[in-house]
Amino acid sequence: MRRRITALAVGLVALSGQARAAEVMLVTAASSRIPSLNADEASQLYLGRRTTLEDGTQVTLYDLPGGSTRDRLYALLTGKNPSQIRAYWSRQVFTGRALPPREASSPADLPTLLSNDPSAIGYLPDGPLDPRLRVLLKLP
């Protein structure tokens, strides 16, 4: 019980800091045929519950290396903290249900990865956008 209260308190503190943080943008190549995403679709994709869009288009997902942007994305999309996401993906992989998104080596490498694959989706902190990319969804 004590651990649950501590975990809840830590989660609330993290979420309150994230509420003041900048937005996260889900992005794809400017040439991509993916029109847009809503938060529910993005959540389903980033939890491995779906690998295709509504129209059947197969997508490739990219994660950023661990850090504040990645933590904020998962908190906003799934309500899970970094420890919960690691545990979730460990279970998914162990049971053979799904594989986690591919990991970009850095935010600077993501535009190249996405522009080379029009079915790829990634995310970046809000800010100036590389001209090779297009925003699919902004998360507050």
Range of the domain at 111: 2-139
Count the domains in the chain.
1
Consecutive H or E run containing 120: strand 120-125
Residue 4 has pLDDT above 60, yes or no: no
Q: What is the C-alpha to C-alpha distance for residues 55 and 3, in angstroms, rounded to an integer?
A: 43
Per mean pLDDT, which range of 19-23, 27-31, 43-47, 103-107 is the poorest? 19-23
Q: What is the pTM of this model?
A: 0.82
CATH number at residue 51: 3.40.190.10
As a whole number, mean pLDDT of residues 10-39 equals 74
Q: What is the pLDDT of residues 87-107, one digit of tens each?
A: 999 999 999 999 999 999 999
Residue 135 has pLDDT above 90, yes or no: yes
Greater confidence, 3 or 76? 76
User: Which of 54, 61, 49, 51 minimizes the C-alpha distance to 35?
Assistant: 54
Contact by Cβ (8 Å): 59, 26: no
Residue 76 has pLDDT above 50, yes or no: yes
Residue 59 has pLDDT above 70, yes or no: yes
User: Which of 59, 65, 85 minimizes the C-alpha distance to 74?
Assistant: 85
Can you tell me which residue has the tokens 């939890």?
Answer: 47
Consecutive H or E run containing 75: helix 68-78
